[in-house]
Amino acid sequence: MTAETVLYEGKAKKILATDSPEYIIQYFKDDATAFNAEKRAVIPGKGIVNNQISARVFSVLAEAGIPTHFVRTVSEREMMAKRVSIIPVEVVIRNRATGSLVARLGLEEGQVLNPPLIELFYKNDALGDPLITEDHIRLLKLADDAQIAEMKRLAQRVNAVLLPFFESRGLLLVDLKLEFGIANGQIVVADEISPDTCRLWDLQSGERLDKDRFRHDLGRVEEAYREVWRRVCA
Ligand code: 5GP
């Protein structure tokens, strides 16, 4: 299958058509944005590393029986995935308090969240991806009750599988953002799972090894992505 038309171009990826209507190619760019694209940069090699980390993580989820859109890696920067209709809800699951949760509720940075906390956001750049309730999701008809329940159930399973996966590689999975798609009536984990979409802290030192290095100008951004790649893929 050869990639042809660009179906969609996002901030960090392009979605390309294949010669089959059932499959697309996700092309991972080196572009990075933060704070609703107010901050922009190129992180050399990020696309390669995120493609490979995502592929490995999706394979681990598939082995655990969790449905994902991932089919196979096609090149350094490209993976083939099932074509899905993306549900415009970002599901965030948190094991520790940080980021927007601390800013919103004033919790202590790093506080353990047990059980893990699930939050729902409206995937809408024009509105700045606001936090929404299940009633908002019903009002906006973004998903029905069964789909909301299934996304939350899958998010808990993904977290339960990935916590020990990363821990055995010396990484604390602090939180992650999931997007779901519908293919043939089934809800599957879509998009990517990488240091762009998860927070990962070194288990020993607590050092941040994710996009927060870019967001907050912590330096050594490329090195952090590469270190996650080394621990997950090498
Ligand atoms: P927070 O709500 O604290 O900003 O983010 C929670 C988690 O979800 C973090 O791992 C963060 O990287 C991820 N996340 C939330 N919104 C977005 C988004 O719009 N884009 C990306 N790449 N990650 C997000």
pLDDT score of 234: 86
CA distances from 146 to 68, 72, 143 (A): 18, 29, 8
Q: Are 129 and 135 in contact (CB under 8 A)?
A: no
User: If pLDDT is split at 50, 70 and 90, which confidence band does 1 have?
Assistant: very low
Candidate of 197, 201, 208 to mutate for ligand 1, largest count of ligand atoms within 8 Å of Cβ: 197
Number of domains in the chain: 2
Residue range of the domain that includes 203: 85-220
User: If pLDDT is split at 50, 70 and 90, which confidence band does 222 have?
Assistant: very high
Please give the distance, rounded to the nearest whole angstrom, from the Cα atom of residue 19 to the centre of ligand 1: 33
Quick one: 56 and 126 in the same domain?
A: no
Q: Are 232 and 56 in contact (CB under 8 A)?
A: yes
Q: Which of 53, 82, 111 is the last residue of a domain?
A: 82
Q: Are 80 and 62 in contact (CB under 8 A)?
A: no
Quick one: 119 and 188 in the same domain?
A: yes
- DSSP-derived secondary structure for 179-213: EEEEETTEEEEES--STTTEEEEETTT--B-STHH
Quick one: 57 and 114 in the same domain?
A: no
Residue 13 has pLDDT above 90, yes or no: yes
Mean pLDDT, residues 186-215: 98
- DSSP-derived secondary structure for 94-154: EEE--HHHHHHH-PPTT-EEEEEEEEEEE--GGGT--B--HHHHHHTTSS-HHHHHHHHHH
Please give the distance, rounded to the nearest whole angstrom, from the Cα atom of residue 224 to the centre of ligand 1: 17
Smallest CA-to-CA distance from 169 within 112, 230, 94 is with 230
Quick one: 78 and 97 in the same domain?
A: no
Quick one: 69 and 95 in the same domain?
A: no
Interval 99-156: pLDDT, tens: 999 999 999 999 999 999 999 999 999 999 999 999 999 999 999 999 999 999 999 9
Find tokens 């080196």 and name the residue.
30
Give the pocket of ligand 1 (CB within 6 Å): 90, 92, 99-101, 129, 175-177, 196-199, 211
Using a 10 angstrom Cβ sphere, with 0-12 exposed, 13-18 middle and 19 or more buried, the burial of residue 187 is buried
Phi, psi of 57 (to 5 degrees): -65, -45
Token output for 174:
């602090």
Token output for 173:
């999975």
Mean pLDDT, residues 148-177: 98
Quick one: 170 and 56 in the same domain?
A: no
Ligand 1, atom 18: closest residue by C-alpha: 197
Three-state DSSP at 90 gives strand
Q: Rounded distance, CA 208 to CA 201, Å? A: 5
Phi, psi of 138 (to 5 degrees): -65, -45
Please give the distance, rounded to the nearest whole angstrom, from the Cα atom of residue 176 to the centre of ligand 1: 7
Please, what is the average pLDDT of the chain?
97
Find tokens 């004033």 and name the residue.
106
Q: Which of 82, 114, 149 is the last residue of a domain?
A: 82
Which residues lie below 8 Å from residue 100, measured CB to CB, with a gap of 6+? 131
Quick one: 192 and 163 in the same domain?
A: yes
* Pairing of the two strands 112-122 and 171-183: unpaired
Please give the distance, rounded to the nearest whole angstrom, from the Cα atom of residue 101 to the centre of ligand 1: 11
Q: Specify the pTM.
A: 0.96
20 DSSP 8-state letter: S
Question: What is the domain-level CATH number for residue 110?
Answer: 3.30.470.20
